[in-house]
């Protein structure tokens, strides 16, 4: 495409011969071919381009667009022929600085490729081809920044052709959803290939393993799982029922292998984790193009628990990786975190984590949505690897209902064009596909849903009691104690929907129950303390846990008696799942009304429905949530159809953003957690003797004189991280330190805090802000930081 002599350099290193632009371009091409082959992307790219062009009678230009797609990736750095770039950035003495020209290269690449292809593109006289070309070209312009909204007309120039192009947007937008998917994939491949090629020269690391299952590995995983599953006891009635669910869903899947999205709606305690794993491995072994598995969870506790299950099945197989904010990165070849003196290992760790280079990944819903909809390079590096993958989404009902319709739209499109197989599972599963007009069937895997949910082992496992809903707020604490003592059970769980109320009740009952260990558990508690509490519930001792909603979704806890402050129907059912999980006895859950749920669940349509309504009580008792979800989905659809504070509805506004290819606006709309909280760091010390700290690697230098983990030393390590020169080593150490820093950090809403440092508000005067267990004393904090004058 371009003839470039070897006097132009792409990268340089003091101890190596400079890399020529031709060498970098060739390496970029090699990595593009490697990735496309590894992830079977040729058919994905071809189908998207065919779809875009076919609708505009432009199929004859397919070869041209495929060529442009690849060449814009391969030649993305052609702008480095800029003499000023060579002189200033590369210190290349063969070239002199032109003070009239900036030392940048992305804009120069944009202009060079534009000049090379523009005449051929405009000769097509096809608006879609022209529209697509300029948007692909924008990825070259943005390959060192982020995806932007629309096109940059300033840099397009003011030629007659460019002026006429301003009218093309409306024509091209008819295929905007497919163009959105194609541009995101193109951007991901461009920055990934550039990163891999640059890393090979700068760090002497050739990447050959892109974290996919080979045919042999697929078979090995499947056989390991079958051996494990066949070893499980299936004698008990509950195990027989779980096996029926396992087999029934598998049969439905095998009958619908050509479909892309599946619902797995099964009761709490029915074995969804093993059932979904079986489904994923069946898909993997019945489709040669599929080569990666993702498990997506809304809570880090679920990630940790599920990872422990999979480690037990697959015996610490290095193919499985956890990628989230609280789990330190681990070597692909060893269980230990990388040693400081091994630079290449840090680089490999960073690459594997950044690009999801593991065949089997457990990560968060936030990370998934950042990858699908984010605009930064970090967000988009691993996007390409989602193609031809299996993605299991757990507890989808916990996502913001205001996003359900738009989630359904995008999942439908990503599944279709990226060949992603989605399995959406929960005990309370909204059929979000009913919100969109999809031409693709979303398959319900459990065909005998009513029979399963109405089985006494699930339906009658826990008996809901609504008698406390009539008790006035000032009487509730005493009434809860009276009912709990009447039952004389060993394991009692109380849940409140605010941290403040949970703390008040915890303090209230500390001297009210003789012979019980009493714990409090909330989102303020660190990972170590949560593990401690969960482990305590499994001991042969009487215990009481007072918790917030952190206890609900999938937490591995099994209690005998429950009391819950009412919220959403989904929340109530999730709580029921923490009681009598194995149907070993008769159990009861009392619901009460203490805090105003509307203040906790702001702008949530589900607040129109609660267990004060007789019909909703019946739904909860009978495990039949279909009528509730039908009504809720109608409400949500109606809400998105109304034009309230603007001239267009939320739905029309959403599709307008897609039509305009406003990547930043779409990213903002699809953000799962819109949180204005600040993170504080309290440098206390914590006794870690009773905790398994192996996942954190060698922390000996972070211990104080009493062998406690020192928050002050962790903070000093965080501050000193910028002294690490290697980018990859610094990034990995930041992630590892952040995992430790989570133990000492808490989210607060307070505008009177000291200025942030390194992402935290450091508070050295933490006296009376934490107790001996490292539990955050939020009320004391609020009192301490209530005066604005303290930090003026």
Per-residue confidence (pLDDT) for residue 172, from 0 to 100: 44
Question: Which residues neighbour 530 within 8 Å (Cβ) at sequence distance 6 or greater?
Answer: 301, 521, 550
Three-state secondary structure of 1-13: CCCCCCCCEEECC
Ranked by mean pLDDT, the top range of 180-189, 333-342, 724-733 is 180-189
Per-residue confidence (pLDDT) for residue 756, from 0 to 100: 86
Query: What rounded mean pLDDT belongs to the chain?
Result: 91
Contact 576, 588 (CB under 8 A): no
Residue 227: exposure state from Cβ atoms within 10 A (0-12, 13-18, ≥19): exposed
Q: What is the pTM of this model?
A: 0.93
> Could you give the CA distance from residue 753 to residue 683 in angstroms, rounded to a whole number?
16
**How sure is the predictor about 784, in pLDDT bands with cuts at 50, 70 and 90?**
confident
Ranked by mean pLDDT, the top range of 165-174, 242-251, 580-589 is 242-251
Mean pLDDT across the stretch 311-340? 73
586, pLDDT greater than 60: yes
Mean pLDDT across the stretch 596-614? 92
Among the listed residues 411, 435, 413, the one whose alpha carbon sits nearest the alpha carbon of residue 423: 411
Angle ∠(501,503,507) on CA atoms, nearest 5: 115
> Could you give the CA distance from residue 293 to residue 423 in angstroms, rounded to a whole number?
11
Contact 467, 591 (CB under 8 A): no
Give percent of the chain above pLDDT 90: 76
For the segment 347-396, what is each residue's pLDDT rounded down to a tens digit? 999 999 999 999 999 999 999 999 999 999 999 999 999 999 999 999 99
**How sure is the predictor about 488, in pLDDT bands with cuts at 50, 70 and 90?**
confident
674, pLDDT greater than 90: no
Alpha helices in 142-267 (DSSP H): 153-156, 160-165, 169-172, 176-203, 215-231, 237-254
> Could you give the CA distance from residue 284 to residue 293 in angstroms, rounded to a whole number?
8
Alpha helices in 388-520 (DSSP H): 404-418, 449-453, 456-459, 473-487, 499-509
Which backbone phi and psi does 5 adopt, to 5 degrees? -85, 165
Least confident of 374-388, 429-443, 451-465, 770-784: 770-784
DSSP line for 520-567 = EE-TTS-HHHHHHHHHHHTSSS-EEEEE-GGGSTT-S--BSEEEEE--
For the segment 607-642, what is each residue's pLDDT rounded down to a tens digit? 999 999 999 999 999 999 999 999 999 999 999 999
Q: Across-strand partners of 491?
A: 543
Mean pLDDT across the stretch 53-60? 78
Mean pLDDT across the stretch 107-126? 93
Which backbone phi and psi does 220 adopt, to 5 degrees? -65, -45
Comparison of pLDDT for 58 and 324, the residue scoring more:
324
> Could you give the CA distance from residue 757 to residue 435 in angstroms, rounded to a whole number?
44
- Tell me the helix, strand and coil percentages in the chain, rounded to 5: 50, 10, 35
Mean pLDDT across the stretch 394-409? 96
For the segment 212-270, what is each residue's pLDDT rounded down to a tens digit? 999 999 999 999 999 999 999 888 899 999 999 999 999 999 999 999 999 999 998 89
**How sure is the predictor about 531, in pLDDT bands with cuts at 50, 70 and 90?**
confident
Per-residue confidence (pLDDT) for residue 333, from 0 to 100: 57
For the segment 12-56, what is each residue's pLDDT rounded down to a tens digit? 999 999 999 999 999 999 999 999 999 999 999 999 999 999 866
**How sure is the predictor about 570, in pLDDT bands with cuts at 50, 70 and 90?**
very high
168, pLDDT greater than 60: no
Q: Which long-range contacts (CB under 8 A, 24 or more apart) does 86-94 make?
A: 86/8, 86/9, 90/9, 90/12, 90/18, 91/12, 92/7, 92/8, 92/9, 92/18, 94/7
Contact 278, 286 (CB under 8 A): no
> Could you give the CA distance from residue 134 to residue 140 in angstroms, rounded to a whole number?
10
What count of other Cβ atoms lies within 10 Å of the Cβ of residue 205?
A: 16
For the segment 16-26, what is each residue's pLDDT rounded down to a tens digit? 999 999 999 99
End-to-end CA distance of the chain, in Å? 60
- At 121, list the tokens: 């593109």
**How sure is the predictor about 171, in pLDDT bands with cuts at 50, 70 and 90?**
very low
Mean pLDDT across the stretch 271-276? 96
DSSP line for 257-289 = TT--EEEEE--TTS-HHHHHHHHHHHHHHH-TT
> Could you give the CA distance from residue 593 to residue 109 in angstroms, rounded to a whole number?
63
For the segment 275-307, what is each residue's pLDDT rounded down to a tens digit? 999 999 999 999 999 999 999 999 888 898 899
For the segment 539-561, what is each residue's pLDDT rounded down to a tens digit? 999 999 999 998 876 678 899 99
Rg (Cα) of the chain, in Å, rounded? 28
**How sure is the predictor about 332, in pLDDT bands with cuts at 50, 70 and 90?**
low
Per-residue confidence (pLDDT) for residue 296, from 0 to 100: 98
**Domains, the chain, ordered by start:** 9-202 (1.10.3210), 215-332+343-453 (3.40.50.300), 461-639 (3.40.50.300), 642-672 (no CATH), 678-790 (no CATH)
β-pairing, 745-748 vs 678-681, is antiparallel
Per-residue confidence (pLDDT) for residue 553, from 0 to 100: 65
> Could you give the CA distance from residue 126 to residue 121 in angstroms, rounded to a whole number?
8
Mean pLDDT across the stretch 723-730? 88
Per-residue confidence (pLDDT) for residue 266, from 0 to 100: 95
Per-residue confidence (pLDDT) for residue 431, from 0 to 100: 97
Among the listed residues 747, 268, 305, the one whose alpha carbon sits nearest the alpha carbon of residue 535: 305
Give percent of the chain above pLDDT 70: 94
Handedness of CA 198, 213, 440, 635 (dihedral sign): negative
Number of residues assigned to the chain: 792
* HSE-up (13 A, CA, CB side) for residue 467: 7
Per-residue confidence (pLDDT) for residue 54, from 0 to 100: 82
Per-residue confidence (pLDDT) for residue 523, from 0 to 100: 86
Mean pLDDT across the stretch 407-433? 97
**How sure is the predictor about 174, in pLDDT bands with cuts at 50, 70 and 90?**
low
Q: What is the largest CA-CA distance in the chain?
A: 89
């Amino acid at each position: 495409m371009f003839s470039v002599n070897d006097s132009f350099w792409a990268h340089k290193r003091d101890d190596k011969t400079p890399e020529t632009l031709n060498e970098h371009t060739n390496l970029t091409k090699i990595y593009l071919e490697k990735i496309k082959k590894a992830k079977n992307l040729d058919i994905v790219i071809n189908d998207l381009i065919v779809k875009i062009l076919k609708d505009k009678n432009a199929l004859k230009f397919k070869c041209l667009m495929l060529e442009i797609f690849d060449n814009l990736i391969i030649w993305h750095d052609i702008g480095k022929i800029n003499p000023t770039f060579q002189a200033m950035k590369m210190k290349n003495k063969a070239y002199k600085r032109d003070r009239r020209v900036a030392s940048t290269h992305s804009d120069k690449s944009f202009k060079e490729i534009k000049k090379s292809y523009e005449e051929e593109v405009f000769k097509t006289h096809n608006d879609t081809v022209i529209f697509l070309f300029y948007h692909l070209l924008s990825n070259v312009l943005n390959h060192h920044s982020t995806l932007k909204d629309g096109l940059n007309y300033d840099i397009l120039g003011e030629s007659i052709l460019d002026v006429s192009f301003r009218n093309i947007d409306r024509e091209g937008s008819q295929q905007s959803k497919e163009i959105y998917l194609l541009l995101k994939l193109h951007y991901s491949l461009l920055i990934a290939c550039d990163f891999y090629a640059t890393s090979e020269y700068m760090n002497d690391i050739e990447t050959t393993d892109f974290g996919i299952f080979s045919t042999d590995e697929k078979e090995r995983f499947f056989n390991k799982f079958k051996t494990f599953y066949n070893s499980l006891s299936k004698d008990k009635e509950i195990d027989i029922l779980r096996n029926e669910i396992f087999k029934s869903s598998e049969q439905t899947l095998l009958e619908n292998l050509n479909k892309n999205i599946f619902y797995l709606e099964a009761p709490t305690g029915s074995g969804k984790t093993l059932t979904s794993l079986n489904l994923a491995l069946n898909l993997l072994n019945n489709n040669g193009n599929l080569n990666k598995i993702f498990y997506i969870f809304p809570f880090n506790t679920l990630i940790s628990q599920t990872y422990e299950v999979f480690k037990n099945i697959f015996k610490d197989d290095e193919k499985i990786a956890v990628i989230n904010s609280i789990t330190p990165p681990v070597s692909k070849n060893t269980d230990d975190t990388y040693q400081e003196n091994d630079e290449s290992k840090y680089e490999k760790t960073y690459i594997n984590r950044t690009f999801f280079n593991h065949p089997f990944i457990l990560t968060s819903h936030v990370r998934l949505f950042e990858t699908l909809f984010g605009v930064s390079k970090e967000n988009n590096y691993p996007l390409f690897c989602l193609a031809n993958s299996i993605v299991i989404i757990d507890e989808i009902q916990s996502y913001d209902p205001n996003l359900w319709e738009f989630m359904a739209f995008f999942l439908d499109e990503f599944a279709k064009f990226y060949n992603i197989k989605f399995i959406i599972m929960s005990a309370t599963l909204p059929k979000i596909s009913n919100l969109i007009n999809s031409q693709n069937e979303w398959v319900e895997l459990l065909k005998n849903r009513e029979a399963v949910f109405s089985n006494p082992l699930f339906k009658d496992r826990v008996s809901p009691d609504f008698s406390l809903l009539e008790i006035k707020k000032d009487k509730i604490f005493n009434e809860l104690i009276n009912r709990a003592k009447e039952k004389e059970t060993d394991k009692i769980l109380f849940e409140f929907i605010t941290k403040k109320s949970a703390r008040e009740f915890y303090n209230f009952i500390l001297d009210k129950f003789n012979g019980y260990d009493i714990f409090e558990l909330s989102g303020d508690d660190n990972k170590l303390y949560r593990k401690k509490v969960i482990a305590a519930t499994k001991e042969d001792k009487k215990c009481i846990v007072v918790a917030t909603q952190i206890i609900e979704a999938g937490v591995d806890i099994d209690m005998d008696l429950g009391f819950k402050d009412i919220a959403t129907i989904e929340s109530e059912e999730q709580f029921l799942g923490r009681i009598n999980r194995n149907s070993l006895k008769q159990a009861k859950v009392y619901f009460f009304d203490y805090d105003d749920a509307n203040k906790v669940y702001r702008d949530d349509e589900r607040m129109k429905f609660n267990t004060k309504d007789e019909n909703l009580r019946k739904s909860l008792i009978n495990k039949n949530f279909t009528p509730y979800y039908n009504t809720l989905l109608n409400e949500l659809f109606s809400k998105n159809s109304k034009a309230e504070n603007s001239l267009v509805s939320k739905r029309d506004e959403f599709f307008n953003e897609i039509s305009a290819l406003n990547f930043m606006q779409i990213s903002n709309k699809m953000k799962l957690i819109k949180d204005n909280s600040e993170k504080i760091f309290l440098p206390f010390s914590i006794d870690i003797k009773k905790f398994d700290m192996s996942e954190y690697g060698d922390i000996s230098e972070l211990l104080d004189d009493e062998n406690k983990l020192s928050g002050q030393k962790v903070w000093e390590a965080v501050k000193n991280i910028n002294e690490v020169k290697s980018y990859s080593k610094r990034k990995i150490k930041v992630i590892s330190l952040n995992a430790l820093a989570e133990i000492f950090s808490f989210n607060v809403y307070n505008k009177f805090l000291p200025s942030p440092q390194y992402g935290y508000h450091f508070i050295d005067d933490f006296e009376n802000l934490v107790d001996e267990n490292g539990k955050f004393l939020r009320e004391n904090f609020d009192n301490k930081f209530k005066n604005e004058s303290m930090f003026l």
